[in-house]
Structure 1
Amino acid sequence: MRARFTVHEIAGAALRIVDEQGLAALSMRSLATALGTGPMTVYNYVADKAGLEELVVAAVVAEIPLPEPTDDWRHDVHAIAYAMWEGVRAHPAAVPLVLTRRMSSPTGFAIVDALVAALGRAGLTDTGLLAAFHGVFGFVIGGAQSTLAGPLTGSATEAADRIGSVAGAEHPHIAALAKVAITTPVEDDFARGLRMLIDGIACHVQP
């Protein structure tokens, strides 16, 4: 007999709750209601709320389109990382979970596996590959956090303007950089920083 729900369906329903009602609305009961079933049925698929939150993270990652691989590892790493960044930013209410929860389901592993594979084609050592993966993945998550889950509300431009105003003459370097941020599109800033990071990784490729 076919299971009433798949893990993918449950994860998708949980993500819709977070997108539409916010993270605080996510619970085993609200998920059961969204699925048209009882809470005990949900417990057959997810042990607790922590597991449910991990599925939300997997659902966010699973929605990210997988770029076609090429013979240029730098291009592929950039394309995959940029897609991941955009995918996380598409679900701002779920960002706190992306930052704090690990995926316990393989539902969202494809894009991460593709990133590891692309970096692997660079010719790094095993430990170099691990460090490169952590560097790129951390840059993606940090970029999402800074634009969607930072301490200041409003758009990135508004946040930069506020930071510059608070820094003032006492912290001139921050104030000057904030002025640059105000006129720089977030997408351009992320892409430029990502290219710089990838160039740095390339310096550690084995000859």
Structure 2
Amino acid sequence: MRARFTVDEIAQCALNIVERDGVGALTMRAVASQLKTGPMTLYNYVSGREGLEDLVVGAIIESLVLPETTDDWRTDLRETATALWEVLRAHPNVIPLILMRRAVSLSAFAPAEQMIAALSRSHLSERDVLAAFRAILALVTGSAQAEFAGLFAGTSEHDEANAAGAARVGELARDQYPHIAKLAKVSDRSTAAADFQRGLAIFLQGLVAVEERPGANRALKPTRRGTRS
């Protein structure tokens, strides 16, 4: 006898709820309602809310096509970061869930493993690899989150919405905040994808500089007064 639901069907239903209403709307009752069953039925498939969260994270990560590795760690890091950014950009409401579950959901480890593997093939120290991994993860997730504009996220219409938003910011900032106003004009001529790739290129150039001059990356230690030496 066929099971009433498959895990994939439950995962897709949970993902639909998160994408439509946000992470806060994901409950056993909400998923059961969408599947036209009772909440207790779902416990035959998942352990509870955390189980639903894992299914959603898994569904997103499984849609991520990781690039083939090359003999250039910088290329591998850039391509993996870009692939992750593109997936997150397509599923804006899921980002908070991925960030919350990344430490306990094994399905979220694959892109992280590939980025760390790329960094580990450089000549960076172990501490620099850790700092670089955290920084590039922040760049990917932060860039994706900052881009969202309702239903237009990840589309050409969204770039148009961003341009309109930049124009409004420039107009508001024009008299009191000239630097913001000036940068808003630059933003008006750019796209989210172009900005991300440029920022990623700058980040990679910085890593290469540290790799070539490891002694120059000595961590600054805070003093008792909170200043840095």
TM-score of the aligned structures, taking structure 2 as reference length: 0.76
Q: What is the match of residue 221 of structure 2? A: none
Q: What is the match of residue 120 of structure 1? A: 120
Q: Deviations over 1:41-90 (max 9, x none)?
A: 33355444355335423432332111111111111111111111110011
> Where in structure 2 are the equivalents of 1:30-109 lying within 5 Å?
30-35=30-35, 37-50=37-50, 52-99=52-99, 101-103=100-102, 104-109=104-109
> Where in structure 2 are the equivalents of 1:175-190 lying within 5 Å?
175-190=181-196
Name the aligned partner's letter for residue 101 of structure 2. R
Q: C-alpha root-mean-square deviation of aligned residues, in Å?
A: 2.9
Q: Deviations over 1:149-201 (max 9, x none)?
A: 79xx9722122122212211211001000100000121111101001101111
Q: What is the match of residue 179 of structure 2? A: 173
Rate the CA distance shift 1:98–1:110 in 2: closer, same or farther, 3 A. Answer: closer
Task: Name stretches of at least 5 consecutive residues in structure 1 with no aligned partner.
Answer: none
Query: How many residue pairs align between the two structures?
Result: 203
**In structure 2, distance between residues paired with 1:117 and 1:13:** 34
Name the aligned partner's letter for residue 189 of structure 1. D
Q: What is the match of residue 140 of structure 1? A: 140
Q: Is the 8 A contact 1:62 1:110 kept in 2?
A: no
Query: In the TM superposition, what is the alpha-carbon distance from 1:39 to its structure 2 partner?
Result: 1.2
Rate the CA distance shift 1:164–1:98 in 2: closer, same or farther, 3 A. Answer: farther
**In structure 2, distance between residues paired with 1:108 and 1:34:** 26
The answer to whether 1:201 aligns with 2:207 is: yes
Task: Name stretches of at least 5 consecutive residues in structure 2 with no aligned partner.
Answer: 215-229
Q: Is the 8 A contact 2:27 2:49 kept in 1?
A: yes
Name the aligned partner's letter for residue 85 of structure 2. W
Query: Which deviates further from its counterpart, 2-11 or 138-147?
Result: 2-11
Name the aligned partner's letter for residue 141 of structure 2. I
Q: Is the 8 A contact 1:77 1:119 kept in 2?
A: yes
Name the aligned partner's letter for residue 59 of structure 2. A
Query: Which deviates further from its counterpart, 131-140 or 10-19?
Result: 10-19
Greater relative contact order (Cα 8 A, min sep 6): structure 1 or 2?
Answer: 1
- SS in structure 1 of the partner of residue 67 of structure 2: coil
Q: Specify the structure having the higher radius of gyration (Cα).
A: 2
Identity across aligned pairs (percent)? 46
Q: Is the 8 A contact 2:98 2:108 kept in 1?
A: no
Rate the CA distance shift 1:180–1:91 in 2: closer, same or farther, 3 A. Answer: same
